Structure formats: C-alpha cells, structure tokens
Structure 1
C-alpha cells in the first residue's frame, strides 16, 4: 500500500485490514507515549469501574486468556477479551461476552481511532491501532472485566498502557530473542513489565528459577509483597487427575475441572484468576457455570482436531517450549503411525523446535511459508535432517496445502496427521480448505 492510501479513511473491514497492514512499523518510534496520548484523547486510557487482567508469556497466553474470559462470561460477568494474532478472521481478536466483534462494530471502532489519530497527528502501529479499537469497544459495551493478551513482551506492549489488577504469566521461554533478550532473565524482565504498583496478584506458571527470580524481584520493586505472587510450583495447588481433568486444591478448592479442548496446564491459572476477579467484584462463584465456561472454551490451532476421518490435528506451536508441549500431548494420545505437515518462520529457533519433535513422526511433509519472514521448505528440511530424521522420510513443498494433500494421500488407515510450526501455516491451510 502506498503512503497516499493511508491518508483516506477505509470503508469495510477488508479495507481497514489493508490499511493497517500498510502501516510501516519501522518509521514509528518505540515506546508507549504515543499510544497513551491517543488513548487519552479517545477516553480509553483508564477503566476505573472495570477489573483488568493482563496475560503475558512465551506460550499459553491465548488459551489462558480465553478460558478466563469464557469462565467469567459463563458466570454472568460482562467481559471483553483481546487476543492476537488471528488465524482466519480479524474478528477473532476482539470479543465481548464470548461473541466476536462484528464487522460494523469493528469499522466503527477503527473509525474512532482514525479520528483520534487525525486530530492528534500521532501515528500508530498496526497493533496499537487494533488495541485502541478493542478498548473503544470494551468501553462502549460497558465491560466489567477486560482480559488482555500481550502481543509481544509486556513492558512496551500496547495493552500495557492500562494497569492490571491481576497479572498472569503462564510461561517464559526463548522466543523473539532479538527483541526481548537472549536469556530467560532478560525475557522475564520484559514480561514483568505488566506488573504495576496497583496490581493485586501475580499468577505464574511453571517457570525456571532464573525467570521466577526476575519476576519476584521486579514485583518487589513495584511494592508487591511475596504473598501477592502465586505460582503453580507452590501457592496454587493442583492435582492433575488425567489428560483433561484437574482438581484445584489451593488457594481455592474446586474439584473435577474438565478441559477437553485446550492445554490443561494453563487452566488452573485461568480458574484461579476468575475466582480472584469474582472475589474482587463481590460476586459469589457459581462453580457449575464457571467450570462449564472452561469446559466449552475453544481456540483455533491449539491441539485442534479439524478432521475426524482422517484425524487431522492443528497446532500453532512455533518455538521449543510449545513444540515440547505438543509432543507430550501427542504421546498421551498413544502410539501409532503419525505424519506431520510443518512450516516455520525463519526468525524462529527452527532447529531447537524440531528437536522437541524427535521420534514423534514417521514422515514429515515440509512447506515453505510466504512473506519476508517465511522460511523455505529446504531450510526447514535441512534442520530436520540435523535432528537425525532420515532423508527419505522428509518431502518438501511450496505451500502448506500441497504438503497437506500429499500427506493425506499417503496417510495409512487409522493414522494421524499433525499440522504445526506457525500461525501462518495454520492460516494458509485453513484458508485453502475453507475456500
């Protein structure tokens, strides 16, 4: 898109997406000062009558945020959810009370941001634009709770202009190292940026000592005591009874929580956050409704079965910790023949990610991904061979769909096909299958 195209207001949602994708992020300085000024102009720089939960982390952000929002909505609490990225439709990013924003509402929200940008003369990035659109919709709908997933990092992420009541950090691993740092301590420092002096509780997943220590230290600098930090390692007591059920034992007691469609490891944090929010709002929990909200949460691309015959599983795992979890989930499904379609971005740790899948797949069909960040199939194949995968078990293709068609054609009866490696891989395949 040319720069002149950015000087006229788009009309429909497709035009708005083209407009936002045409913004060059490299000409806009980093930091939160710009978005804070535009948010103040729009009147969405604070939500004093709402509770805010911000979710940061390397993996598990989307599923944690989605289960939390679903549990609150099922409990009758008006809740806005903001996540990213989307896979098929932009509407997936913003929802109110479990319903994705419709095209008319999104266009109204983008227009409100456009007017504020025009009046202030301040330029915004794609993510800043969409974040303010989400805030505008949450304000319009009078949401009592805002659940905000960090896009990247935490400290300088657009959602961090709002101070959270509860900070949730499900995991910390090495990803986006060029921007966030090369050690878990450096990355944890960026994630800990969502913790504010007004934050009541910090909920943590299973973290390394290095990451945990950094977060505790940063929380203390903001005046939080150790008692405000609850970790799955200690304060949040969990008993995993099987692959899809757990009992929450502390600091709240809830038995028989069923999580059929999303990573079980993230659900205790979601449930704990939901109970804390209800406590802050003075609401008595209806456990049947809370658990129904978690049980029915669905999210594209998280160990998602998109076909039963043959069995096709879609997962957006794209870094070593996520691939490790995917591998563990697949092992829980039992033995048997299993093929994979894999496409990855070249700025990811491709080799380490693929090492986590060693021994999981009998054959792998590798695809190139489009765009500047997309890795070629040959590059991914080279990394697969370095892990010890036999050359005759790897084939390369130009697109995810071509790899998928070939894999399905060779898949034995009763075998499974897993598609993974990137959000882009998922999007490319789903768009073609749904065309």
Structure 2
C-alpha cells in the first residue's frame, strides 16, 4: 500500500488528489498498471464478458459512444470508458448508459489507492483506467468498450485483451511519443491486436497504415475489415446512409456524431452478433446510432444564433470538421484555442483553405502546453487571413463572450481547437449563464 494518507472519502478530496497527479505526465508501459490491476483483481474479465478496444488518432470517442449506444439498446449492460472529460470526470466512466456517480468514483478510487504501492505508483490515466475497470466489474457489465488514451501497445487500457479491435483513423499526432512516421504510429495503434482478437475494423487509412495493421492482424490470425474495402457504405442523402457490406442494412439515420466513424460501430455490433451470438437486431443498430451522443463532438449548444463545439485539435480532425461545415454554406465565425505541441499551422490551414470563417477569435490556453493567442494570430496571417478579421484574447471564455456579442442571429459560431478550449467555454456558460439576443443559452 502507498505510504502517506488516503484522501478523505469525498469527491472533492479525490479531485484534489488526482489534480496533483499531473495528467500531462506520460509514462508508457504496462508493468506498473498490470501489477496494481492484479492486486485489484481487474487484470482479467469473466469468460462471458467481451472487450472492444478502440485506438486511433481521431474518432475513438465517437466510435466507442455509438457502439455503446447500440449495445445498450440491445439490452447489454455496457461499460463505456472514454477520455478526456469536458465538464465532469464522471463523463469518462459510463455503465448501463448512465455516468458513474460520485459514490461510484469514491469507492473505486479508494480501491485503486489501496492496491497501489510506492514501487508501482500510477500515472493519472493508469489510476483512472483501473477505477473504470473496477466499477465495470462491480456493476456486472456484459461488454466493455474501452477507448485508448494514447497509442495502443503501451496504453493502460491494453492490459485487457481485445475481442474486437477498432482503429478509426491514423494520423500524425503525439509524434514526440509515438513516432514521427505514419508507419511507426500505426505500429503503436496496432498493439491492441492480440492473439485473443478475432477481428480488426479500421477506417479508411493511408496505405502504409493499412499495411502495418494488416500485418499485425495476420500475425494474430484476426480477420481484417476496412471501410472502403470489404466494408462499404453509401450516402443516401443528408440524413440517411446505407451499410452495404458485408451485411446490408439500408436507410440508417445519419448520427449526431461524425458519420465517418459510424461504419466501424455498426461493423463491431455485427461481429458481436455473428461471432459471439449477441442478440443485436438491425433495429437496435438504428436506435443506437440515432441516440448516441458524446460531449464536444459536433455538439450544438445553442440556437439562433447556432453555436457548435467540437474538440478537433489536429489536421485530420480539422479536415473532417471543415468538410462537414462546408456542406452548408452560411456566415460563420470561430473561437479557436490550441496547445502548442499540436500542428497549429496545418490545423488552421484546413479552415483557411476553404475560407470557412469570416472572423477568428483566437485565445491563449493555460498551462505549459497552452499556446498563446498571438501565435495563432501569426499563423492565421501567414495563411492569408487579414489581421482585421482576427481578435486575440487571454482566455477562451473572453473570446467566446466577444464572439457571441458580435454574432448575427443568422450566423453560426464554432468553438474548437482543443478539449481545453471547449471545456473553458462550457464552464464559462455554466457559471455565468451567458445571454445572447435570442435569449439564454440552451446548453446541452
């Protein structure tokens, strides 16, 4: 057991404790977390419990949330683990379709702390991952849908072997940790494929990534399904799409979450039905896609004027977001704050190339990783945006208030660039109840 005193049994005390376990400190490797998991008794799952692990650069949370919604609709008690959170830590751990309560978290945190010792002190993500697994075990979940935090091979989630591995996308991100090439990053993501894994489902990946994932799948004798190859979909119109192969399900509603990730969730549900005999009907799949939500992913938080939040923080995510927005030509402004270790220039380029925004409200983000607003302003001017179309602020909340005050009712405002940007804006709304011309913000 750890030396020192366990925090008091209150969520505030545990938040203070976890706040001192710097979430930006990353120590990849599974030795520590495996040891504590074994002491805690969560290093394995029961024979009747299935595990779906989701890795990738973008789209992990949306893919996981859609699959969990399908499973819940089919009557399976599902443990859904995603990160990071936006409003409250409870968002990370969902079972039975409901966020873990404060009491759930306190019990789990105490159990993990008791299982830990000075030689196996956990990082923030390792600690919280084991808390999630503890809750899922105690709440008798039938299936776990686990989003990888970083990479895959050495991520804490990977202490459990995946029955099905999902990899929505692979791009250049976290290069200082995962490698500077797509092949190196794909190798790390593919680390969630194990001998236990029966199938791997991927999005449309660059060829070098497909080859690396395919090699790992073949090595572990796991079936490989690739969107655009043997997994085929067809867009019907703005509100519906068809899932064509390998099983046909027609006229599915386009989900509120990014459509690009829906085929992986549907494929995983079908694999659970076909391979593991889960009782998942086509109507369960339809309802799950229709009902799935996840904070900060194409989320509309206000109307007249429309305000969207999206946590896109790298070029591939910004590219998808930009193309989605470009389907509907209308006046738009943007609030953007980013971390300085991200590819700021190429992320912003996805918006400037399409000339999506009439005005940019850029802001500084807090902490050592936060980029200063003037850096984003300089990048935007280098990309051809005149300075009179850019305003710079010290905080995301200030940028949002200014943008909202100047936004015409028939316009749209996007808040993006980082989880931190979205979090700060939502906290500002919650605390100050920001008003606009049409009335009080309708916060989801």
Q: What is the TM-score normalised by the length of structure 1?
A: 0.95
Corresponding residue for residue 354 of structure 1: 348
Corresponding residue for residue 192 of structure 2: 194
Match of 2:427 among 407, 420, 431: 431
Corresponding residue for residue 136 of structure 1: 134
The question of whether the paired residues in 2 share the 8 Å contact of 1:5 and 1:19 is answered with no
The question of whether the paired residues in 2 share the 8 Å contact of 1:10 and 1:19 is answered with no
Corresponding residue for residue 373 of structure 2: 377
Residues 99-154 of structure 1, C-alpha deviations (whole Å, 9 max, x = no match): 00000011101111011014x85210100001011111111111110000000000
Task: Spell out the pairing of 1:45-64 with structure 2 (5 A cutoff).
Answer: 45-47=43-45, 48-64=47-63
Question: How far apart, in 2, do the equivalents of 1:243 and 1:205 lie?
Answer: 21
Residues 155-194 of structure 1, C-alpha deviations (whole Å, 9 max, x = no match): 1100000000000000001111111111111110100000
SS of 1:257's partner is: strand
Q: CA deviation at 1:50?
A: 0.6
Corresponding residue for residue 71 of structure 2: 72
Question: How far apart, in 2, do the equivalents of 1:25 and 1:146 lie?
Answer: 23
Q: CA deviation at 1:200?
A: 0.3
Structure 1 residues 290 and 17, CA, compared in 2 at 3 Å: closer, same or farther? same
The question of whether the paired residues in 1 share the 8 Å contact of 2:256 and 2:298 is answered with yes
Task: Spell out the pairing of 1:298-337 with structure 2 (5 A cutoff).
Answer: 298-332=293-327, 334-337=328-331
Corresponding residue for residue 339 of structure 2: 345
List gaps (5 residues or longer) in structure 2.
432-444
Task: Tell which deviates more after alignment, 288-297 or 323-332.
Answer: 288-297
Structure 1 residues 147 and 15, CA, compared in 2 at 3 Å: closer, same or farther? same
Corresponding residue for residue 81 of structure 2: 82
SS of 1:305's partner is: strand
Corresponding residue for residue 251 of structure 2: 256
Corresponding residue for residue 435 of structure 2: none
Q: CA deviation at 1:256?
A: 1.5
Q: CA deviation at 1:275?
A: 1.6
Corresponding residue for residue 286 of structure 2: 291
Q: What is the TM-score normalised by the length of structure 2?
A: 0.93
Structure 1 residues 10 and 156, CA, compared in 2 at 3 Å: closer, same or farther? farther
Corresponding residue for residue 185 of structure 1: 183
The question of whether the paired residues in 1 share the 8 Å contact of 2:197 and 2:220 is answered with no
Match of 1:122 among 120, 123, 134: 120
Structure 1 residues 176 and 398, CA, compared in 2 at 3 Å: closer, same or farther? same
Match of 1:365 among 342, 361, 366: 361
Corresponding residue for residue 97 of structure 2: 98
The question of whether the paired residues in 2 share the 8 Å contact of 1:244 and 1:264 is answered with no
Structure 1 residues 192 and 6, CA, compared in 2 at 3 Å: closer, same or farther? farther
Structure 1 residues 57 and 50, CA, compared in 2 at 3 Å: closer, same or farther? same
List gaps (5 residues or longer) in structure 1.
none
SS of 1:190's partner is: helix
The question of whether the paired residues in 1 share the 8 Å contact of 2:74 and 2:279 is answered with no
Question: How far apart, in 1, do the equivalents of 2:304 and 2:25 lie?
Answer: 48
Question: How far apart, in 2, do the equivalents of 1:277 and 1:15 lie?
Answer: 40
Match of 2:11 among 6, 13, 34: 13
Corresponding residue for residue 407 of structure 1: 403
Question: How far apart, in 1, do the equivalents of 2:230 and 2:206 lie?
Answer: 16
